[in-house]
Chains A and B, each alone.
Chain A
Amino acid sequence: MLGRAKSFFSKTFDAIIPVFATILVLFIGLFVLSALGKDPVAAYKALFDGAFGSQRAIIQTIIKATPLLLVGIGICIAFRGGVTNIGGEGQIIVGALASAAVALYVPIESRAVMLPLCLIASMLAGALWGGIPGFLKARMGVNEILTTVMMNSIAVYLSNFLLRGPMIDPKEIEMGTRAAQTALMPETTWLTRLAPPTQLNTGTILAVVLAFVAFVLLWQTTIGYRIRAVGYNPDASRYAGIKVPVYQVLALVLSGAYAGLAGGIEVFGVQHRVLENISASYGFNGIVTALFGNLHPIGTIPAAFLFGGLMVGGNKMQRTVQVHSAFIDTMLGLIVLFVVGAKIISVSRSKRRARNG
Chain B
Amino acid sequence: MDNLFSVATIFGILGMAVRLAMPYLYAGLGELLDQCAGCFNLGTEGIMMMGAFTAFYVVYRTENLLLGILSAAVVGLLMGLIMSVISVTLKAAQGISGIGLSMFGVGLSSLLFKTLLDGTVLSVNGFRSVRIPVLGDIPYIGDAFFNHNPMVYVAYVLIPICSIFLYKTTLGLKIRSVGQNPQAADTLGVSVDKIRYLCICLGSIMAGIAGSTFSIANINMFQEKMTNGTGYIAVALVYFSGWKPKGVLFGALLFSFVNALQLRMQVLGINIPSDIAMMMPYILTIVTLIFVKSRDAPAALAKPYERSEN
Contacts and interface: CB of A to CB of B under 8 A. Distances in A.
Is the pairing of A and B real? yes
Contacts of A355: 310
A288 B102 CA distance: 13
Contact of A140 (B114, B239, B290): B290
Interface stretch (B20-28, B58-66, B103-111): B103-111
Interface in A317-332: 323-324, 326-332
B85 A324 contact: no
Given A142-B289, A327-B111, A337-B86, A287 B96 contact: yes
Nearest to B236: A146
B100 A333 contact: yes
Contact of B103 (A327, A333, A341, A344): A333
Contact of A147 (B100, B113, B286): B286
A337 B286 contact: no
Contact of A326 (B90, B107, B276, B292): B107
Contacts of A328: 107
Contact of B114 (A150, A324, A332, A347): A324
Contacts of B290: 136, 140, 142
B2 interface: no
B273 A161 contact: yes
Contacts of A37: 115
Contacts, number: 141
B110 A146 contact: no
A285 to B, nearest CB: 9
Given A330-B104, A332-B103, A340 B282 contact: no
Contacts of B286: 136, 142, 147, 150-151
A146 B285 contact: yes
A143 interface: yes
A147 B233 CA distance: 10
Contacts of A84: 95-96
A153 B279 contact: yes
B42 interface: yes
Nearest to A161: B275
A141 B292 CA distance: 9
B275 A158 contact: yes
Contacts of A291: 96
B110 A326 contact: yes
Contacts of A151: 282, 286
A257 to B, nearest CB: 21
B216 to A, nearest CB: 22
Contacts of A36: 111, 115
Contact of B235 (A142, A146, A333, A347): A146
A337 B111 contact: no
Interface string B68-112: 000000000000001001100011110111011111111110110
Interface residues on A, range: 35 or more
Interface in A36-82: 36-37
Given A84-B95, A340-B86, A344-B91, A154 B105 contact: no
Nearest to B279: A157
B95 A341 contact: no
A330 B107 contact: yes
Contacts of A341: 85-86, 90, 92, 97
Contacts of B104: 330, 333-334, 336-337
Interface string A151-179: 10110011011001100000000000000
B99 A150 contact: no
Nearest to B239: A143
A284 B98 CA distance: 12
Contacts of A323: 115
B232 A146 contact: yes
A92 interface: no
Contacts of A335: 100
Contacts of B254: none
Contacts of A145: 42, 95, 99
A140 B290 CA distance: 7
A84 to B, nearest CB: 5
A343 interface: yes
A149 interface: yes
B279 A158 contact: yes
Given A153-B279, A330-B107, A355-B310, A340 B114 contact: no
Given A150-B232, A337-B101, A344 B276 contact: no
B232 A340 contact: no
B240 to A, nearest CB: 10
Nearest to A339: B100
B229 A157 contact: no
B134 interface: no
A355 B308 CA distance: 13
B278 interface: yes
Interface string B249-293: 000000000000000000000000101101100110110011010
A257 B286 CA distance: 21
Nearest to B110: A326
Given A143-B289, A145-B42, A341-B90, A154 B283 contact: yes
A141 B278 CA distance: 26
A326 B97 contact: no
Contacts of A334: 100, 104
6 contacts: A146-B289, A158-B279, A333-B105, A336-B99, A337-B100, A340-B92
Given A153-B228, A341-B92, 9 more contacts: A86-B99, A153-B229, A158-B275, A158-B279, A161-B276, A324-B114, A332-B107, A333-B100, A344-B92
